[in-house]
A and B are shown apart, each in its own frame.
Chain A
Amino acid sequence: MSKIHVSATVNGDPVEFLADPRETLLDCLRDHLDLTGSKEGCGTGDCGACSVLLDGRLVCSCLVLGVEAEGKRVETIEGMAEPGGELHPLQRKFIEHAALQCGFCTPGILVASKALLARNPDPTEEEVRYWLAGNLCRCTGYDKIVRAVMDAAADLRGAA
């Protein structure tokens, strides 16, 4: 099986990797670029644990082939905190509200929530719940996640 050379931008940095055409973007991020923050939950686009932004659009990286990332901009959970380590307001609020327990779904939910707040800085609870309907969490029961997102949104509006 011949591999294909892929050039992309991940979290602002130019990257190159060799991908088997059957490998997903998630496989490539984790296995070739050592960006293991994005998780594989289901591998079928149902759980959202692998959520990333592809050219600014929220997608499941398990439903994108690595070779499709050629020339594209990818943003993952690793690009969320400041380079100096300062957490994004969403990350701070998730800790404050204890919006995570096992943490496996958390990177995907943070990436998805950030995408929501970029489009809609003042979402209603219903809008948050619908937006995150493709991010499954088996620990929290979602309430704490929704509260953390709403609180972070208020924080970000105040800061703006």
Chain B
Amino acid sequence: MRYHCAKSFSEAAEIAAGAPGITRFLAGGTDVLVQLRSGLVTPDDLIDLKQIPGVHDISRTPEGGWRIGVAVSGAELGEHAGVKADWPGVVEGMGLVGSTQVQGRATLAGNLCNGSPAADSVPGLVAAEARVTVIGPNGAREVPVEEIPTGPGKTSLGPGELIAAITLPARGAAGGDAYQRFIPRTEMDIAVVGCAVNLTLTGETIAAARVALGAVAPTVILVPEAAAAIVGTALDDAALEALAAAARAAASPISDKRGTAEFRTHVAGVLARRVAQAAYARAKGDTK
């Protein structure tokens, strides 16, 4: 295994594009090192991104959103008052990944590129309409976050391509987001189902909504039907029931040791309802 310490994203992309064997990019390493140690994936070339200028930074975009560097750890994200105030759902999703120790290293970009349908940070990013900057041998492109994972452990990134930053849009007035997951214990577990909701209100009425579900399909999914069920409502009982029904209808989970397909489908509806209420309370300013 050759270890490279890239000084720029274009250098990292160049090394990866020219590497004949298996390549991995290293930021937090909480997935890459586990795969390396277990013998699951032994990279021929490991490209460390942490020396690239700006990768540890969280900065305001000119549009009023946030640009999050690929080496920003969950702990650093959780300590950032600005992002937490604007996008508490994104921050709480990332905060559920692993232990305190894992939080010290794990990153949003890593959780996204690991390609797990149960990745806790991804539904919040999808609901927030986050975008990623992808750099590759042919230059840079901006991609909606939901287009990166294509199936368990798989991404749409081509050879030599890597994520250079994650951008959250401006929060805007009267907005709120939230993420919750179901697990059979209280911490250190993988989501049986996860759900994120992002809302913008006009008065008491929901003007815009995005609903994302995790662990009920081969990737985290955006569910426009669930959003449509609550837009134009004040999240009354009928709207909540329509939301839950749409979430259940969108779920196409597998049965495994964490839960049966039937259970996951049911929980998708329950969580959609609860998370929408949490996001609604935040959008109204009732809770943080």
CB pair B75–A57 under 8 Å, yes or no, is yes
**Which chain B positions have C-beta within 8 A of A22?**
1, 36
> Which A residues from 1 to 35 make CB contacts under 8 A with B?
1, 4, 21-22, 24
Q: Which residue of B lies closest to A115 (CB)?
A: B100
Asked if residues B100 and A63 are in contact (CB atoms below 8 Å), the reply is no
Q: Is the CB of B36 within 8 A of A58?
A: no
Contacts known (A24-B33, A58-B100); A64 close to B105, Cβ less than 8 A:
yes
Q: How many angstroms from the CA of A14 to the CA of B173 in the assembled complex?
A: 51
CB 8 Å contact bits of A122-160 with B (1 = contact, 0 = none): 000000001111110000000000000000000000000
Tell which of B2, B50, B75, B99 touches A133, judged by Cβ atoms closer than 8 Å: B99
Q: Say yes or no for B19: interface residue by CB 8 A criterion.
A: no
Would you call B37 an interface residue if the criterion is a C-beta within 8 Å of the partner chain's C-beta atoms?
yes
Neighbour of B29 across the interface among A43, A65, A131, CB < 8 A: A65
Q: Which of A1, A24, A59, A130 contacts B101 (CB 8 A)?
A: A59
Q: Is A89 an interface residue (CB 8 A)?
A: no
A91 sits at the interface (CB 8 A):
no
Q: State how many angstroms separate the Cβ of B20 from the closest Cβ of chain A.
A: 17
User: Is the CB of B54 closer than 8 A to any CB of chain A?
Assistant: no
Q: Which listed residue, B3, B37, B38, touches A21 by the CB 8 Å rule?
A: B3
Does A60 contact B102, Cβ atoms closer than 8 Å? yes
Q: How far is the CA of A153 from the CA of B37 in the complex (A)?
A: 36
Asked if A100 CB lies within 8 Å of chain B CBs, one says no
- The residue among B3, B30, B50, B101 with the most chain A CB atoms within 10 A of its own CB is B101
Residue B177 is within 8 A (CB to CB) of chain A in the complex: no
> Is A63 touching B99 in the complex (CB atoms < 8 A)?
no
Q: Is the CB of B29 within 8 A of A64?
A: yes
Cβ 8 A contact of A45, one of B1, B26, B102, B187: B102
**CB pairs A–B below 8 angstroms (7 shown):** A24-B33, A43-B37, A54-B104, A59-B104, A64-B105, A65-B3, A116-B100
Name the 9 nearest CB pairs between A and B, nearest first.
Answer: A134-B99, A21-B3, A59-B104, A57-B104, A133-B187, A60-B101, A44-B34, A63-B33, A134-B101
